Structure 1
Amino acid sequence: MTDFSRRHFFKTATLPLGAVSAVGGLAPVPATAASTAGTAPSAPADADPQALRWLDGAAPALMLGATLGLPWPRGAHRKGQDFHALDGQGQPLPLQSWPLAWWPDGSLKWTAHALPAGVETGAAPSIRAGKAPKPTVGARVSVKEGPTAVEVDTGILRCHLPRQGTQLIRSIERNGREILRGCTLVAQVDDKPDAEQGPVTQTALDSRIRQVTVEQSGPVRAVVKVDGQHRSAAGREWLPFSVRFYFYAGAESVRIMHTFVFDGDDQKDFLRGIGLRFDVPMRDALHDRHIRFAGEAGGLWAEGVRNLTGLRRDPGAAVREAQLAGRATPPLEQWGPQVRKLHHRIPAWGDYTLSQLSADGFQIKKRTQAGHGWIPAAFGRRAPGSGYVGGISGGVAFGLRDFWQRHPTQLDVRHAVGDAAQVTLWMHSPEAPAMDLRFYHDGLGMETHEQELEGLEITYEDYEKGFGTPVGIARSSEITLWGLAATPSRERLVQMAAAVQTPPQLAAQPVRYLQAGVFGKLWSLPDRSTPARRKIEDKLDFLFDFYAKEVEQRHWYGFWDYGDIRHTYDADRHEWRYDVGGFAWDNSELSPDLWLWYSYLRTGRADVFRFAEAMVRHTSEVDIYHLGRFQGLGTRHNVQHWGCSAKQARISTAAYRRFYYYLTADERVGDVMREVLSADSKMDEVDPVRKIAGRVDKGPWPARIGFGTDWGSVVANVLTEWERTGDVRWRNKLLRGMKGIAAMPRGFFTGSGGYEPTGPNEGAFHNVSGDKISASHLSAVFGAVEMMAELVDLIDEPAFKAAWLQYCELYNAPREQQVKALGAPHGGSPVLSVGHSRLTAYAARQKGDAALGQRAWREFWADDPRGLKTLKTTRVAGPLVLNPVEEAPWISTNDTAQWGLAAIQNLALVGDQLVD
């Protein structure tokens, strides 16, 4: 397949704005859990498969531009296919399209589509194949690349992005007037976590640009990526960052995705604050300058820099009403005479701070200027993280997503009385304690693998000295900036705050994803037509709703934590085991990510999507190493997200990210999936079973790799890269592995093999186990089931398919059947037999074996033969707990994820064998 870069295509595209860019022949450019509780309605099962919908049910109040991914059945559209968009009335809309993934035959599998800002959104638009007439909307985004800067024009805003220096944005102009200037990144780092160990020295950092890349240049959507590092005045460069700017045609806003990676010394570098800072020119009289902060439940804190209300003398109702509304006040001569004469004696307030230091409390304070005391102004519970500074002649609205969920956060406005106000959006508040990323215990005397295994035996923590390092973890944050011609109305600013916290997202109907045949054909639409089906669907809903409520009830919030869930419950303490080794944070253990995404695909529920989105943002950043010794690997569950010594591909696997990438075309997640392509090259250096005595040696080969948790994860990484690029190299790597497994004496029951991660024979397996039979209960529960289903469907290799079907049929099979087929029992633990029932179901479906399908359901129902797992919670209050809680002690995340996946997949595969 011919490889053109996306950048080249859009630079040379001359199609009218309404016609879609031809997506054929393009290889995608190399790139990049919510607290809502309660059951949300599913998408209609009888909806038009081609109809799009707004994820959250209603058209957004503000259309800032939208991007979504759409699937296509194999062979439906070849390269060169055009697409067009129509609004709810059938009128053409501007559209920009590009490919995300390809089927093996070269046809389009996933495409991405962008719609401009400002279009009517009374009904969700539709996107169809074929050319469209030129739309009536004429706005377009344009990009000019120069030797020193990149200039982007949305038709409303003109943004100048320097290629070098400290400023990410030199200026944003509207109607020829500068609205924003001097945008940089700032950070503060302490040399000690607190003053208990002596005086703390604080160092300030700013941004230094290394590279600016135009990834898209219109006509509807432009994307510019800025890479660099933070630098101190002494010249130390560290904390690498990547910032993407998103521009839509007709937009008065800019979306920003900011990512930084921690690469300091966790014993010496205690990051206190990290933020985005810019200046806003202030041209209006002090009484016509306005400060706004959004509050909870649609509330707004709104004041003038020099307030004209509450004075001893009245300036007049028209003056007061205009200032409160953010409009120009009447001329001075129309004011009350005493206020007109003495208004210069009214204090002007230049500095403001909104700080959210916990999930349940924020404070607004203000002062006249530096050197004078702060005055408490207002308090609240949960701020949405948006505000405005400016005046009647223009200003900037700004917002930071997940503001209270990722506390501590902060919004600062300084010098509002001067010629330019300074705004800082702190992604981590400098008023909070510095980040202390050091490992949480001293090793407890564990120096050898034998001693470390003792620790695993008692606290389930896989400790190893030096492995619990944060070096290489990352965090991404979303920011939106508006360049406005005047102070927005109170109602409009509240709408902006809502758009920041819950960005409008277009989506397809669940039936469309199903009919396209993507993600392994392992799911079906909800069906409550029989008592047994209803029982399963009710439990699926109960389990998701339970976890959604637990996020709020247990306060699973915070800068590094938000998006993850806990692993195991402690019924004695009525608390999740947050402080017990490997029972604390889940870190994708046993694939809750997959459970959530398959749940979303089949239901279309917005709350499931938002929960899974928050999880992706967490697990793809915090739980994965993006540089350093463990780059490309993830960390097993632990008290700290990076604490466990098991650094494994089973956590970093693209299997958990690709759903979000294809549904939204998110470049940052695309970056991460490309980063983990190198994970298999770490298999020898960080062998997951290095502590186990008697493990199979790698032989003369570069590495030893297991067929399940290791290779299944690698398959997800490589398959995703193959379908994103169409590069036959990645198909060949998969095929070598498939052939190698099929050639093993016991197929998947060989357990592991010698492996070549790179080189001319990359991906090849070699037998180092002889005729040994081995199986692990973990091999299939980290995405292997789902990825093997896709692999078998995409690459026709009969011997491999036979080996996989043998594994699926025999894992849960009676002992005598294992002995008959293998010569001996495979030795795998039955502890996850319910989760493995979906393997039985897969074999039954592939073989057309009704008896095997019935066996799958018997295995599935064995989860709770006595009916003890009732779908209800119990309230615990009083001195037994700190706060009243609703608990279900029988729930664990391992069981929930695997039961949920088994329920979804068994219904799809052998639903016809389900009896009441």
Structure 2
Amino acid sequence: MKSNYILSRRAFLKDSIILSGTPFVFNKDFLNELLLDAHVIEAPLTWLQKATFPSSSGLTWGVPWPQGKLKAGNSFYLKDGQGNKKTIQSWPLAYWPDGSLKWTAHAATGLVSDTDYSVVAGKFAGNVSGLNVDSLATVLTVDTGTIKAIIPKTGDVLIQSLSIKNKVIATNGKLISIIQNGPDDENAISLIRKKLTGRINQVELEQNGPVRAVIKITGTHSDGEINFLPFIVRLYFFGGSDEVRIIHTLIYNADEQTQFIKGLGLDFNVPLSGELHNRHVRFVNSEGKGLFAEAVRGLTGLRRNPGKDITDAQLAGRATPSFEQFPAEVKNNLKYIPAFGDYTLLQGSSSGFTIRKRTKPGHGWLDAGAGSRALGTVYLGSPNGGLIAGIRNFWQSFPAQLDIRDAASNTGKINLWLWSPEVPAMDLRFYHDGMGEDTYEKQRDALDITYEDYEPGFGTSHGVARTNELVLKAVEVNSEREKLLQIAQAIENPPRLICDHAYLMKQGVFGANWAVEDRSTPEKASLELQLQQYFEYYKKQVDEHHWYGFWNYGDFMHTYDTDRHTWRYDVGGFGWDNSELSTDLWLWYYYLKTQRADVFHIAEAMTRHTGEVDVHHIGKFAPLGSRHNVMHWGDSAKQLRISTAANRRFYYYLTADERVGDLLREQVNAAKTLSRIQPNRKLEGIRDQPQPEFSENKIPAGFGTDYGAIAAAWLTEWERTGSPQIKQKLVNSLQTIAAQPHGFFTGHGILHLDTGKFDITASQELSVSHLNAVFGLTEIIEELLPLVNVRAFEKTWLQYCRLYNASTQEQGQELGQSLTKLNLGQGHSRLTAYAAYKTKDPKLAARAWAEFYSGKAGIKPGHVKVQQIKGPAVLNPVEEDAELSTNAVAQWGLAAIQCLAYVGGDIPEQATNK
């Protein structure tokens, strides 16, 4: 069939490139020919991250399909490069307006990462994995065919037991937290600490298929009196796999002044038996691919040598020869060799960890090792097996800690600390006392100097969240050193199968506003190089400026301080970026262009961070996000433009991640909060006037940043559910924006959330903001318009795209007056390019490129101008480009990507950036 032809062409192309050594340059016309079949029923996949060894890890990914080709309920199977078929588990993620499948999710196990795969629409009656879930009155029992887990439905135990081949490897898995009544650095307070455990409120079997089972557990931390810190834990099981993947989300609702989190983690009991010299402890170091590997009772370095066979076996983790074969001088005095039962690896910063050990409580610790960045994997067991446990992004999310306790007893313990109890307690109090900013006027004055929009009571962390990924792996034999290192690396960078980006482009997902990398002309090559340089610059900035930590990892900083040669981490609104001007979108579209694993990892970390930490999930501000600040939640501007679903759609559809799915659904009714938290409440001319009465179904909304987020949330929910009510609200909103006196240039209105209709204003005033189109509105409208038939809105939107950067004369002729004080001209060149693309107007295309290269309120032509700063001017050597800001780079990146996609054929010759 044709789809086989398509794949053979891809394989031929790839093999030809490899054999010739020629750099791969994508050409959009050739790709259209390559994927010319309009009835594609086969979707090629690619390995974003390959396994370094035969892996039992389960894999999940998303695939888009052409409109009208596949009905809901369609079957799918997996095919490898040799034509072999394999059963997979499939479920719908999104639908086209006609009800056909738009996105599907798929899960598989036992895949080999040196093999090409594709998803095929069709039936295949292959072997089904041995995954089985039994739901009993009090527990769920999950059997993957390799491991078995018992999950209680009530109480404070998440995993009652984990076993492999009927051998219990771990028991009594609990969430734990430690709170204290004051910060560690204020010694006047007598600190009282309490230990809490995670109490289960609900256990839900979210998915129970032949390949993949997902169990969602919700609850709070409690000691019987205190109930706080809600959690959401998902446990993932795959047929044939020996792993349990854990996605753990904590929602912060402590009293910032009196409840300080001293420790946060998950612990397990590990049954132990056998001689102490055959019990083993392992930690993994990412730097140099090293391993800390010791026995509880060591047999090396003794005054009396037990012999090479014995020491070699212990060092390798194998069972030593029997006790009777030990030399008498060792055997008779074995009891005098200290047994070290407790071990701790503390990652106190992103650049340093320490390992200590002791014999047992009540005795001193010995320094056992140190390094830079640990991989977050620990092992406790014997030659007959044990438990491997790991925290992904361990050193990046410091302060983290791995503990082994009681390894010399019959029941050892592994503690996976997401927040180490050995560092100062988590202190989320606001960083200043308000400095007298008790009126809107004073707050506006402060904004003018530090760019911080402060308001008493708004800079609270109440309701922010943090999601972590963990892995448990039961093993029946002690893993060899090299194998354990590979397992740890796979926990950190798990093998990932993902839909090929050339296929994604052909399907038009995420809009027609991007294209795969194309360096076919000097002009295009120059822009592609500059896109590459900007990403690599920020990738390096993350590391040089240590943008790491439990609450920070995944975010960028907003603005650079050229005097201090550092980012303005302590200057109000210049601190953390919090998605300002669509940094998330820039990274995701750049990933789609390049399919680079490092781009994906940074975009993934940003999605996890900005969707959780920068958004309030409970409380009076929920579910709005917080504008940029030196604290992620510090700003009083609580806005939809930060929590927008536009920033999460990529990761959800590419990976089918359930937690991000929760975040998308959280935004469907988010606009209701604007009835209480109005973004323009401090503006002059508004703050002094009586405000209309609003309700949860009647809110003030701007047509730009507000409506862009509302449309993104509604579009996503419509796609996911096919809801006709959501669709009608979208249509109503578009129609009533178009019906305004000046269409989109009316700027704002009163939105009725129950119907989606804006009131039609009688005002003839023009209102336009440079921020309207730079928080995802442009990208969402581009996706939305082909799905609905609202010609009047398309006309008014194209008018906005044409006129924003037009001459004052053209604006005046069409609108009756010109637009003044507009900013971000370079970023808006992509709107002009879109208008040129839709109207096929070469003059508009030429104007778009002129706007782009002019660099107005953006970046002038030229590549990254990096200089190294070192010596006493800085704490550590850094590379800096003093002309860059994150706002400018994100908007430049989006403009470059979209201008290339829309009007790349019209790029002026010799327009390279010198």
Aligned 1:535-614 pairs, distance under 5 A: 535-614=526-605
1:244 pairs with 2:234: yes
Q: Report the identity percentage.
A: 49
- Write out per-residue CA displacement over residues 402-453 of structure 1, whole angstroms, 9 at most, x where no aligned residue: 1100110000111111111111100010111111101111111111111110
Tell me if structure 2 keeps the 8 A contact 1:722–1:731: yes
1:799 pairs with 2:792: yes
1:315 pairs with 2:306: yes
Q: Which residue of 2 aligns with 1:752?
A: 748
Tell me if structure 2 keeps the 8 A contact 1:411–1:425: yes
Post-superposition, which runs of at least 4 consecutive aligned residues in structure 1 deviate over 4 A?
A: 41-49, 57-61, 696-701, 864-869
| Equivalent residue letter for 1:810 | L
SS at the partner of 2:825?
Answer: helix
1:84 pairs with 2:77: yes
| Equivalent residue letter for 1:886 | E
1:729 pairs with 2:720: no
1:777 to 770, 781, 793: 770
Tell me if structure 1 keeps the 8 A contact 2:443–2:455: yes
Shift of 1:768: 3.9
Q: Which residue of 1 aligns with 2:170?
A: 180
Tell me if structure 2 keeps the 8 A contact 1:69–1:113: yes
| Equivalent residue letter for 1:784 | L
1:161 pairs with 2:151: yes
Tell me if structure 2 keeps the 8 A contact 1:292–1:388: yes
State the distance in 2 between where 1:836 and 1:771 align: 25
SS at the partner of 1:427?
Answer: strand
Shift of 1:868: 6.8
Aligned 1:364-763 pairs, distance under 5 A: 364-695=355-686, 699=692, 702-758=698-754, 761=755, 763=756
SS at the partner of 2:705?
Answer: coil
Shift of 1:58: 6.4
| Equivalent residue letter for 1:833 | G
| Equivalent residue letter for 1:646 | A
- Write out per-residue CA displacement over residues 849-900 of structure 1, whole angstroms, 9 at most, x where no aligned residue: 1111111111000017996744231011122111111110111000001110
Shift of 1:530: 1.8
1:300 to 270, 291, 297: 291
Q: Which residue of 1 aligns with 2:832?
A: 840
| Equivalent residue letter for 1:893 | T
State the distance in 2 between where 1:51 and 1:848 align: 32
SS at the partner of 1:832?
Answer: coil
- Write out per-residue CA displacement over residues 90-115 of structure 1, whole angstroms, 9 at most, x where no aligned residue: 32223101111111111111111101
State the distance in 1 between where 2:53 and 2:833 align: 42
Tell me if structure 2 keeps the 8 A contact 1:753–1:769: no
State the distance in 2 between where 1:125 and 1:310 align: 51
State the distance in 2 between where 1:285 and 1:257 align: 35
Tell me if structure 2 keeps the 8 A contact 1:88–1:122: no
Q: Which residue of 1 aligns with 2:4?
A: none
Tell me if structure 1 keeps the 8 A contact 2:50–2:495: no
- Write out per-residue CA displacement over residues 492-527 of structure 1, whole angstroms, 9 at most, x where no aligned residue: 110110011111111122111101111111111211
Aligned 1:169-318 pairs, distance under 5 A: 169-194=159-184, 195-233=186-224, 235-296=225-286, 297-318=288-309
Tell me if structure 1 keeps the 8 A contact 2:866–2:881: yes
SS at the partner of 1:155?
Answer: coil
State the distance in 1 between where 2:280 and 2:731 align: 63
State the distance in 2 between where 1:86 and 1:870 align: 43
Tell me if structure 1 keeps the 8 A contact 2:56–2:240: no
Instruction: Judge which range, 356-365 or 86-95, deviates more.
Output: 86-95
Tell me if structure 2 keeps the 8 A contact 1:63–1:121: no
Higher relative contact order (CA 8 A, sep 6+): 1
State the distance in 2 between where 1:700 and 1:65 align: 52
Tell me if structure 2 keeps the 8 A contact 1:43–1:603: no
SS at the partner of 1:682?
Answer: helix
Tell me if structure 2 keeps the 8 A contact 1:699–1:768: no
Tell me if structure 1 keeps the 8 A contact 2:389–2:471: yes
Shift of 1:699: 4.8
CA RMSD of aligned residues (A): 1.7
Q: Which residue of 2 aligns with 1:887?
A: 880
Structure 2 unaligned runs (5+)?
1-22, 36-42, 910-914
1:811 pairs with 2:804: yes
SS at the partner of 1:263?
Answer: coil
State the distance in 2 between where 1:51 and 1:382 align: 36
Shift of 1:60: 5.5
- Write out per-residue CA displacement over residues 554-592 of structure 1, whole angstroms, 9 at most, x where no aligned residue: 111111001000001111111111111111100000001
State the distance in 1 between where 2:494 and 2:550 align: 20
State the distance in 2 between where 1:644 and 1:278 align: 39
SS at the partner of 1:379?
Answer: strand
State the distance in 2 between where 1:157 and 1:796 align: 52
Q: Which residue of 1 aligns with 2:117?
A: 125
- Write out per-residue CA displacement over residues 16-44 of structure 1, whole angstroms, 9 at most, x where no aligned residue: xxxxxxxxxxxxxxxxxxxxxxxxx9897
State the distance in 2 between where 1:68 and 1:852 align: 39
Structure 1 unaligned runs (5+)?
1-40
- Write out per-residue CA displacement over residues 66-98 of structure 1, whole angstroms, 9 at most, x where no aligned residue: 111111121221223111112343322231011
TM-score, length basis structure 2:
0.93
- Write out per-residue CA displacement over residues 205-241 of structure 1, whole angstroms, 9 at most, x where no aligned residue: 11100000001112000000000000024x1100000
Tell me if structure 1 keeps the 8 A contact 2:738–2:792: yes
Shift of 1:482: 0.7
SS at the partner of 2:810?
Answer: helix
